[in-house]
Structure 1
């Protein structure tokens, strides 16, 4: 008949071997044929995506200069791809850390013949001590099982993030391709609206932007406020005096009812008169209409009413 100590050792060794069968495949080591079902392997976080993204960034910088400044529509796709890549890489790091911890625990228990320091200490104790010790070991075992379950969840999350990152990169490639396909038309627009010199005594706003501000205010105003030159945050064309924000609410309040209708009318007027006024693009309600690549397009969520342009119409000029 087995002693309580022998029974404890046998059960602990069996639990350790079972854990190793799961942990070693996760760590990239071949498992015995009797191992538990293998957790799906995570996709590589960056199969050349970072290099591809860097090359596209260089291309965007050249296009930005050649196509009349701030390509906000293209840069929004660039922002989305960057965010997706960062999430994929971060999840891959979490996944690697979790796998390493499980494999380490399993290897330590295996190398000590299933008897870690806690087990060795308990082996010499009396039955009541061993009972509480066995409860502790069960608790540790459950924690390891939870860690293995966490790895499975991380695998799924990282795979989804990887797929989304590749999708965003594909969308960015499409935006670049579309702009390159309209090169002659865009070059004609840039030539038509010759770049203007920086201004002084006008708050830094270019003469063209000042004219647009005056016309829009006369035709669609009054507005609670109109903001033009700024260099903080993501200035887009504001930093060079090529953009103004036509606020339809204040205090970061979402535009609804009459305020939303006011914004809709302002955006529609800007589009209809873009050619005569030299307007480059309009942003309103998390959408952008770029005259270099016409049509409304949804933008990436920037996390707030103002950041997503739900309280103002942004207008940029060439």
Structure 2
């Protein structure tokens, strides 16, 4: 019989136990058989144990059997505690919270647009004020430096005083006009700055509301993830726990359809990875052609893998496979290298695989 880690070719597979079922405790019959083998005579081996040792072994076996066969008061398993809320109710709450969240998000985006528009108006008005002020300064200089004399003296000394009077009148009119324009622009700019300040204040309130709402969403998500019995349901043949994980990743990172999109349920689970037919696994593609991802595609996959590890406990994620490495929440030992399966896709270089409990 091959050992647990043996591949049958004389080499040891350090990852075989990951795919093997968890070991179970032996029954009392197994332990008794082991003891019988221990004390049985061996060919070309050590002689049979002494009579005293045999008696001792019989005593030990008898004691062992009495312990394992005697009824215990606490042997009856406790009745499972029913969840306080049904799964359908949790899912309905999650949908309502998501709808509320999307509404709050739309409101916040509207406030953000309002703040940006007010800032742009204020900046444009400020530019007009600066231009008008520059014109006033230019006209003032022109008024008092004409011919290097004060305008009153210029009228007396210039051979054509009417021309000077006309020029001064025009300059004075333009100065007053620009000053009026400046006053109007300053008032408009003040209004826009107040609008921007109000929008930014509303934005802070909206962000606080979103944070509070998001925390409520995560409370419901955790309850859904921990719900004990979850069956595959239409229309996508996924468990609610898996569907929740998939939708959250799509919400945060997009479907990425141009690079292969997202695939979850399929009748054939593929080599070793068997959660797809159970509706408990999804693949998030980063390259649709079975080629080594570009740096940008790799960064996208890495972001998904990191996010999945970060939220594994909250969402009921069992393990993540990415770039020929596996992270398993049951082992608590970080990312581990996996054996080469022969291709970019089978080694999970072109997609992130996430399996759920």
TM-score normalised over the length of structure 2: 0.39
Structure (1 or 2) with the larger CA radius of gyration? 2
